[in-house]
Structure 1
Amino acid sequence: MPTGIIINVLSVFIGGIVGTFAGHLLSLDFKEKLNMIFGACAMTMGINAITEMENMPAVIFSVVVGTALGLAIHFGDKITWACSKMELVVSKFVHQKSTGLSEEEFSNTLVTIIVLFCASGTGIYGSIVSGMTGDQSILYSKSILDFFTAIIFACLLGAVVSAIAIPQFVIFMILFLLAGVIYPLTTPAMIGDFKACGGILLLATGFRMIKVKMFPTADMIIAMILVMPVSYFWTSVLGM
């Protein structure tokens, strides 16, 4: 039973609804300062995951090459386009209030939280572990952060935040169902490097959340696909 996934998805959906309809009760200063705390929490989760890295060259190679591929095929632009379409669909059912953000700011913020909710190493790894071992603790921890993050971002973006729960559920359930195939093929080193790669994405996402530097986090997602095969090649083929 994918209890962790269900709770994580509900945390985003309900948090988005709460933020959409109760966001006006929170001051702008409160939202901005709390968002900085969420950014710090995301970076903390990222740093914690990075400490489990086994093969630094393999992880660095995956991040650099994966990001380069993402930029080359404009993967981030495709996600931004999908985000804009999702926002249009949501606006047909729920009246979107004026956000006060420019189109570019709205798009950048939406991409940031989609990566945080749907493509973080914590969520992906947590879904795989949940499917293989039944351990839900990783996703439970992620749900706490996601719930409050969804509230704050829904104050800025509106009901479109709740809609992110849909692709999140699809992605995590696919990983949950494939876990029986993926997990037995991995090694502890591959898992550690995978989590470290996800940690780098979380660190970059945290910097985006506090608006220090707008890392191309959407383009970096491809690194999550590369890191396990590269880690295996590094240890088993090269013997390093």
Structure 2
Amino acid sequence: MVLLGTIVNGIAIILGAWLGVKLKKFSSEMKDTVMKAIGLAVIVLGFNMALQGEQFLFVIFSLALGGVLGERWNIEGKLNEVGQWLEKKMKKKTDGQLAEGFVAATLLFVVGAMAIIGAIDSGLRQDHTVLFTKSVLDGFSSIVFAATLGIGVMFSAFPVLIYQGAIALSATLIVRWIPQEHIDLFISEVTAVGGIMIIAIGLNIIGIPKIRVANLLPAILITALFVVGKVMFFN
């Protein structure tokens, strides 16, 4: 089953967020310490990912052009609007953090090497090991995130299902036309771009001045175009 790993990942996030909301009895000091600890760990993860790229100019230009497109399209604003819409649909009082939790968790769970590599493995080989591992990590992260940022974290499971599911289904098709070495190049460059965005997410978590990370997401598409260009004209 191609989507098994993605479905397990979504369920882990939902269950973790539900448990986090139930355990939401942390002092403000504890919340602050836990969130900053997670932020520091996320930054380290981002650095490890960022160093995996082979063509750093691709990374720089992808982030620059992706940022221009993201700002024009106002991706972060639209994600916040979705969170606010969900908050209204809840029809009950919240702590006002639903949008923040939804956006932060969506970016953390979607932007990363494991999401891409795991979904591709699921599609190409129906090997869900990477996504199962990611499910464990996301499940524990969502417990802490939901305990500190609220129930909005739970809704981040749906972008994860759509994003990873689309990659997995697409991978079942692209393998017929794209050689494995080209796929490997794409993964390494997207990992580097995603790593820098992960660093930005970590900085946001620990309270460094706000970076509109969602507006950098088009950089992933730009990276794919650069890789295609390299393969077509320089190989």
Q: SS of the residue aligned with 2:23?
A: helix
Report the Cα distance in structure 2 between the residues aligned to 1:44 and 1:8, rounded to whole angstroms: 22
Measured at CA, do residues 79 and 67 of structure 1 come closer, stay the same or move farther in structure 2, by a change above 3 Å?
same
**Distance in 1 between residues matched to 2:8 and 2:39, nearest whole Å:** 22
For structure 2, the residue ranges without an aligned partner over 5 or more in a row are none
The 1-side partners of 2:56 and 2:77 are apart by: 29
TM-fit CA distance, 1:106:
5.6
Amino acid at match of 1:14: L
Which secondary structure does the structure 2 equivalent of 1:53 belong to? coil
The alignment-based identity, stated in percent, is 25
| Residue 4 (str. 1) matches residue 14 (str. 2) | no
Tell me the TM-score normalized by structure 2.
Answer: 0.86
Q: Gaps spanning 5+ residues in structure 1: where?
A: none
Whether the aligned pair in 2 keeps the contact of 1:66 and 1:221 (CA below 8 Å) is: yes
Does the alignment pair 1:176 with 2:168? yes
Q: Over aligned residues, Cα RMSD in angstroms?
A: 2.3
Paired position in structure 1 for 2:80 = 80
Distance change (3 Å), C-alpha of 1:63 and 1:205: same
Residue 238 of structure 1: how far off its partner (Å): 4.6
| In 2: Cα distance, 1:4 partner to 1:46 partner | 23
> What is the TM-score when the length of structure 1 is the normalising length?
0.85
Post-superposition offset of 1:235:
5.1
After superposition, the C-alpha distances for 1:72-127 in whole angstroms (9 at most, x for unaligned) are 221221121122112323x14xx444x2x5xxx66445322221123434323321
1:63 aligns with 63
- Which of 197, 206, 212 is 2:208 aligned to? 212
**Deviations 1:105-162 (CA, angstroms, capped at 9, x unpaired):** 6644532222112343432332122211233333233223322222222223432321
Alignment of 1:85-104 (within 5 A): 85-89=85-89, 91-92=90-91, 95-97=92-94, 99=95
Question: 1:229 corresponds to which residue?
Answer: 225
Q: Which moved more, 1:178-187 or 1:70-79?
A: 178-187
115 and 232 in structure 1: CA distance in 2 versus 1, 3 angstrom threshold: same
Match of 1:135 among 127, 131, 152: 127
With over 3 angstroms needed to count, the CA separation of the structure-2 counterparts of 1:44 and 1:7, relative to structure 1, is: farther
Of residues 92, 99, 104, the one that matches 1:112 is 104
Instruction: Give runs of aligned pairs for residues 149-188 of structure 1, distance below 5 A.
Output: 149-183=141-175, 185=178, 186-188=182-184
1:8 and 1:113 map into 2 onto residues whose CA distance is 13
Letter in 2 for 1:4: G
